[in-house]
Amino acid sequence: MEREYEIKNRYQQHDYLYKTMLSEKYATYLILILILVIASFNIVGSLTMLILDKKEDIAILQSMGADKRTIRNIFLFEGWLISFLGAVLGTVAGLALCQVQISFGLVKLSGKASSFIIDAYPMKIVASDVFLILVSVSLIGFLAAWYPVRFISDKLFRDENH
């Protein structure tokens, strides 16, 4: 009597579990991007107030020969620098926190000690995820800086010319 066996690795054995975990990862990423978009309104508000507050300085720069594009680039660079610096600092802090969890297991699993093989939540740092987060934050930060620079500076230059 001949028996047929199907050999599967652990990912094939628990296919639905790993697909569910992957979909949770993407859902969490989308939720955090939504939170980032909402938080980027602070950059929009800050740059808008900065541009309106610096009307006299803009006029001085114009009298020294700076054109509209140069002045826009100054404010755009400042807004993007704020968001990029926040992205880098947040990434470094997040990686440090992940490394502390990996090394010391500060956040423990609840339940009976004998019911789990491991006692702390496992973590893994994936370079492509870190890169995706940095690119996402930089892109959203650039758009958050571009919006007030584009529209407020248009209104500001239009008001000064007429």
Give pLDDT tens digits along the chain (162 positions).
Answer: 788 888 988 888 889 999 999 999 999 999 999 999 999 998 889 888 988 898 889 889 889 998 888 988 998 998 888 888 999 999 999 999 999 999 998 988 876 655 778 888 889 999 999 999 999 998 999 999 998 888 776 676 655 554
- Where exactly are the structural domains of the chain? 16-161
Q: Which pLDDT score is estimated for 162?
A: 46
34 is written with which tokens?
């939504």
Q: Which pLDDT score is estimated for 43?
A: 86
Helices (H), 5-126: 10-13, 15-39, 41-53, 55-63, 68-104
Q: In a 3-state reduction of DSSP, which class is residue 157?
A: helix
